[in-house]
Amino acid sequence: MKRVVKNFSSYINGAWVQSEEIHSIYNPANLKEHIQDICLATSSDAKNAVLAARNASEIWSNTETLKRISKLHQIMNDLENQRNEVAEIITLENGKTILEAKGEVDAAISEGNYQLEYLKNNLIEFEGSNKLLYRPLGVALLITPWNFPLSTVIRKMIPALACGNTIVLKPSEYSSLTSLFIFEILDNNELPKGSVNLVLGPGNTLSDALINTDEVDIVSFTGSTATGESIQKKISHSNVRYQAEMGGANALVVWDDANIEMAVSATIASGYACAGQWCTGISKLIIHESVYKNCIDILKKSVENIQVGNGLDQKTAMGPLCNKPQLNKMIDFVNRAADQGAEILTGGSQLFDKSKNGYFFQPTLLSNMSLDMEVSSEEIFGPIINVFKTNDINQAIKYANLGKYGLSFSVYTSSESTADHFISNVNASICHVNMPTPYREVSMPFTGWKLSGKGIPESGRFARDAFTKPKVVYRTAN
């Protein structure tokens, strides 16, 4: 067994804290490949992590902003210098292709550096002799998912720390290795003891110990809507700030005047990149009747050409699903959709192949979807696209708005007014015209409407407001 990170346990109050419960991590592309064992934190470890963060709060919040920022810049530089190593770890534990993993690392680095540059100059404002200070909240509990194991952590951790908060990170149990890698960098940079803490293990068992409403000042959550809502309930009677980035069931529209080749390649990028496990990826493709046949013919060929395999193999275009529940969810989804009248245009099954012993699922296209099918409005979060057909713009908008989510959207059209009509009427916070749905820029908020998001976004220029509270100082000469 090779060990991909030196350490294998939670990191609390400046020390690696081992426990008796061991969890073995296997490569999702090859279940015979045992990657590493890690220790799962106990409830008492989780409590200690929160208390350590509380105790370190005074020293870190009073460290000069420029000193904090310069330390964090060094951390981002260290991450950049180990870009290839961290990308390989992401592929090994998550399954995404090495190209996708490197893309994630690069995006995380630009996002972290953007936050540091922005916050360097924006934690204090002057208005005449009055001062507006953006002061840290205290202890930030950061809970993150497995699908973007590096960027979802950096997106929260860098602004939280730069603003002067101390942190407890609870990453997904499926992304412990990437988090350990990040914490080895933090450990090498010798931040004040207790200012950064890592708690490894499943959220449901650690939840009560972590969500200590007396000691935590903000919970910043990214993950499914169901988990996000359960955390919100837990803290609803307290003064703890809550911000959440949650699920999505996003749509891409191909209208009658679209460039079909462009729309098809955006559909592949939006639907099957990271094996569809991308919150801003698409699960709904809405095609105008007049271009439906042409679009589907080209798309089906492209989908069938997607090379599925081990993400470390350069030829692979789509890796496995990250874990067994994900694989079971896809099998179940296709079965339910077929029962409700969906037609499988291509794919629809698990890929069994001795050389591909892992959680592989075929890139899948389902057609014949309608508004009244219960599955039409679900978040799929895998390599399955539901295709809808219409020639009515209002019907297309209804399909796009189906369900409880409101995250991302794209329309392919050459008409500005058609694009504007869609954008004005879809309930999505991140909209695109003639671009794939996951596209984003780091200065912009990455957030969701309806049950896709809650509270002030922790990203873009909003991160400061998510992780600070204002203090106004009026002053006059004595």
**Residue whose tokens read 């964090």:** 72
- Part of the chain binding ligand NAD (CB under 6 A), chosen from 18-26, 58-66, 144-152, 386-394: 144-152
> Between 147 and 376, whose beta carbon lies closer to ligand NAD?
147
Sign of CA dihedral 453, 455, 461, 463: negative
Told to check if 146 binds ligand NAD by CB under 6 A, we report yes
Contact with ligand NAD (CB under 6 A): which of 222, 250, 270, 468?
A: 222
According to CB under 6 A, which one of 224, 302, 350, 395 is a site residue for ligand NAD?
224
SS3 (DSSP) at 374: helix
The helix (run of H) or strand (run of E) holding residue 10 is strand 10-12
Of 232 and 350, the one with the shorter C-beta distance to ligand NAD is: 232
Residue numbers annotated as active site = 279
- Confirm or reject binding of residue 123 to ligand NAD (CB under 6 A): no
Residue 170 lies near ligand NAD (rule: CB under 6 A): yes
What residues between 440 and 469 interact with ligand NAD by CB under 6 A? 446, 448, 452
Verify binding: residue 284, ligand NAD, rule CB under 6 A: no
If binding is defined by CB under 6 A, does position 45 make contact with ligand NAD? no
Using CB under 6 A as the binding rule, whether residue 266 contacts ligand NAD is answered as no
Q: Which residues pair with 37 in a beta bridge?
A: 24
Q: Stretches 7-15, 219-227, 235-243, 424-432: which one binds ligand NAD (CB under 6 A)?
A: 219-227
Work out whether 173 is an interface residue with ligand NAD (CB under 6 A): yes
Judged by CB under 6 A, the stretch of 25-33, 102-110, 166-174, 422-430 that binds ligand NAD is 166-174
Tell me the two tokens of residue 110: 């630009």
CA distance readout (Å), 394 to 39, 271, 422: 53, 23, 9
Instruction: Name the residue whose CB lies closest to ligand NAD.
Output: 203
Shortest spacing between CB 239 and ligand NAD, in angstroms:
19
Nearer to ligand NAD, 144 or 316 (CB): 144
Cβ closer to ligand NAD: 233 or 354?
Answer: 233
Single residue of 194, 203, 436, 445 touching ligand NAD by CB under 6 A: 203
Candidate segments 26-34, 221-229, 308-316, 340-348, binder of ligand NAD by CB under 6 A: 221-229
The CB-of-446 to ligand NAD minimum distance in angstroms stands at: 6
Report which of 109, 279, 98, 236 is spatially closest to residue 185, judged by C-alpha positions.
109
Q: Which stretch binds ligand NAD (CB under 6 A): 227-235, 313-321, 368-376, 432-440?
A: 227-235
Other CB atoms within a 10 A radius of the CB of residue 247 amount to: 25
Q: Which of 245, 266, 342, 458 is the binder for ligand NAD (CB under 6 A)?
A: 245
What residues form DSSP beta bridges with 472? 132
Question: 66 vs 118, 121, 132, 466, CA distance in Å?
Answer: 12, 9, 17, 20
238 sits near ligand NAD (criterion: CB under 6 A): no
Does the footprint of ligand NAD cover residue 248 (CB under 6 A)? yes
223 binds ligand NAD (CB under 6 A): yes
Q: Distance (Å, rounded) from C-alpha 417 to C-alpha 188?
A: 54
Buried residues in 158-189 as b, exposed as e (16+ CB within 10 A): bbbbbbbbbbbbbbbbbbbbbbbbbbbbbbee
Q: Is 38 in the site for ligand NAD (CB under 6 A)?
A: no
Angle at CA 449, nearest 5°, toward 444 and 451? Answer: 135
Tell me the number of residues near ligand NAD by CB under 6 A. 31
Q: Is 381 in the site for ligand NAD (CB under 6 A)?
A: yes
**In the chain, what is the straight-line distance between the N-terminal and C-terminal CA atoms, in Å?**
70
Please identify which residue in 148, 292, 422, 467 interacts with ligand NAD, judged by CB under 6 A: 148
DSSP character for 196? E
Instruction: Give the tokens for residue 57.
Output: 């709060």
Q: What is the dihedral angle through the alpha carbons of 343, 347, 348, 352, rounded to the nearest 10 degrees?
A: 160
CA distances from 141 to 55, 190, 311 (A): 14, 20, 32
Return the C-alpha torsion angle 229, 231, 234, 237, nearest 10.
Answer: -80
Closest CB 248 distance from ligand NAD, rounded Å: 5
Distance, in Å, from the CA atom of 316 to the CA atom of 313, rounded to the nearest integer, reads 6
Pick one of 97, 144, 179, 267: the residue that binds ligand NAD (CB under 6 A). 144
| Residue bearing tokens 């995006």 | 107
Q: Is 172 in the site for ligand NAD (CB under 6 A)?
A: yes
| Interface residue list for ligand NAD (CB under 6 A) | 143-148, 152, 170-173, 202-204, 207, 222-224, 227, 230-231, 245-248, 279, 379, 381, 446, 448, 452
